[in-house]
Structures are given as structure tokens and as C-alpha cells.
Amino acid sequence: MKLYQQHTIAVAPMMDWTDRHCRVFHRRLNPAVQLFSEMVTAKAVIHGDRARLLGFSAEEGAPVLQLGGSDPRELAAASRIAAEWGYGEVNLNVGCPSDRVQGGRFGACLMTEPALVGDCLAAMGEGGLPVSLKCRIGVDDQDTETALDAVADEAVAAGVSAIWVHARKAWLAGLSPAQNRDVPPLDYDRVHRLEARLDIFVGINGGIADAATVARELAVVDGVMIGRAAYQRPGLLAELAGYRGEESFRHRLAVARSMADYAEEWIAAGGRLAHVVRHMLGLFHGEPGARAYRRTLTVAGQAPDAEPDLLRAALEAIERAADTAARRAAEKDAIAA
């Protein structure tokens, strides 16, 4: 039984990126997108600063909390806490290849321990929330046919609502986490075969960078998860919400202005403008004035005393640049005619 809605578009959990401010920004760009937290270890949820680690805005809806860990008891406790905080789902990370994660016996190295993955997922279900899995197609020299099926079958037996698959192997030695996002080749067909075999929601992740690829994959699998493209070029989220051309530009401007108001509230609560605007640098990628906009936010926007009016001024400059470019294009067309 597929519990997720088909044709789900999600923004991937990304360490140091998909924090509470990023998620509000993405929600405003696309009200329908599924939001995931950064990965938080089960130990941190149990013993850490929960307000800092777990806090989120009601505007986000009920995001998915991604957990890291390999101790079923700790994961069960963390899942119960996630339910208390209002998350809509918990997700187990079986895809991160970093040395730190491997040292803690979780992340992608769990691809070699499918029975333990099943135990962890079953324990997470004790928290009362739906549970999902995010994994790789395999690690190192594993046969991806048997490795992915073994983990997926354990997940199904544990009662997960969804399996999200990053369509690359992870190399646990010799490649950095950044290289593991690019160097191992993508194998979308392997994820397609898993989707055809299972009767639960299967979503795909990895290398998805444009709306055409999203549409192509949604014709085959149940959901698409976008990572770096959604963060570095967040206008893609507006495009996937149906905004095109001038309408997209105006929508992005409106969202950015609303984020200035959001930043005022965050600063009043003791935060800094940089916490908010660092997620907005690629919003006008490819537009006239985008370079000056990024420079303003990455230099002046990082000052401890930076105010939201800095963002508003940068947006006014973007709008002026767009108007100038449109006027010059019209003049050029008139001369050509």
C-alpha cells in the first residue's frame, strides 16, 4: 500500500543547508514541496539542545526529521521526541558517506547491515510517526541488485511509508562526501527496477537539476527528491510550482521581500540577518543584477549588525536591473523591426 501521495517533490536533507530558515524560504517558493530537516543524530535529539536542533516554524507544516544512528533504542526515543515536537515523519539516514558518520556506525555503511536497518526502522515506528528510509543503491564493491533489495526488503518488513534512493553507490574509502555526490555514476534504472518490484512509495534522488528531469522521473517513480539544485538555484522550486518567466520573477521578488519581514522577527528574537539570507544567494541565478545581489548578501549581509533593509535594497537593485534589461531589449527589437 503506497501511503505517500504520488508525484511528491521533496527537497533533500542537506547538512548545514536545510535548517529552519531554509525550509521557510523553500515553503514560500513552493507550498507543495516536501521538506526535510538536516540530519540530526539520535543521541543529539536525546541529549542536546532540542530548541536549537528541532525547532521549526508552523509555516513549514509538519516537516520530516532525518535521524542518524544505529541503536534501535536511541532511534525509538528520538522518534518519540520528534512526535512531541510536531514532526510529520522520521527518516533514517542510510546514505551519508562521511568519515564521522562511518565512525558512528551509521549512514551509508549501514547498507552492509540490512537486518540492523530493519531493526532501526521498526524501533523508530514505536514513536508513533510514519517512518521512511533514505539510502544509496549500494556501497563500495557491493552488487547493487542484491544490496539495495536486501535493505529495501527489510524496510518494507519494518513497515516504512517510503523509500528514497540516492541513485549512486557510496565509496566509503577514497572519496570525500563531496566527491560521493558526483563521482560514482548515477543509475536511475536501478531505482526504477526497485519501484517496479515494490508496492510502497519509492522516490529517486541524485543529479536531478531541472524541471524536465523531474517530469521524466515522475513518469516512472513515485517521487523526486532534489538536493543541491534546489538550494543553489531555488528558482527551480518556483518553476515546479507553476511559475514561469515574468510571473516567476515577480513571485521570487515577493517571496524575498517576505523573507525580509521574516528576518526582522528572527533578529528581534536574537538572530542575525546572515542566518536567513545565506540560503537566498541563488534566487536570481541568471537574472540581470544577480552578481551584485549575491555580493551584497555575502559581504554586507554577514555583518553582525546587518538589518533586513539591506536585503530590501538588494531586491530593489534586482528589480531596477530587470527593468533596464527589459527596456534595452524592447529598444533593440524596435530597431530590428
Distance, first Cα to last Cα, the chain? 60
Would the annotation count 93 as a binding residue? no
Residues 242 and 211: beta-carbon distance below 8 Å: no
How many residues are recorded in the chain? 337
- Residues 274 and 291: their CA atoms lie apart, in Å, by 17
Would the annotation count 206 as a binding residue? yes
Q: Is 96 an active-site residue?
A: yes
Would the annotation count 6 as a binding residue? no
Would the annotation count 227 as a binding residue? yes
Would the annotation count 207 as a binding residue? yes
- Residues 113 and 96: their CA atoms lie apart, in Å, by 15
Would the annotation count 205 as a binding residue? yes
Would the annotation count 66 as a binding residue? yes
- Write out the E strands in 211-260: 223-226
Q: Which residue in the list 96, 109, 120, 135 is annotated as catalytic?
A: 96
Would the annotation count 251 as a binding residue? no
Would the annotation count 166 as a binding residue? yes
28: enclosing H helix or E strand: helix 20-29
Three-state DSSP class for residue 104: coil
Would the annotation count 279 as a binding residue? no
- Whose CA is closest to 64, among 239, 188, 289, 223? 223
Q: Write the CA distances from 230 to 35, 281, 298, integer angstroms.
A: 11, 12, 19
Binding residue ranges for FMN:
13-15, 66, 134, 166, 205-207, 227-228
Catalytic residue numbers read: 96
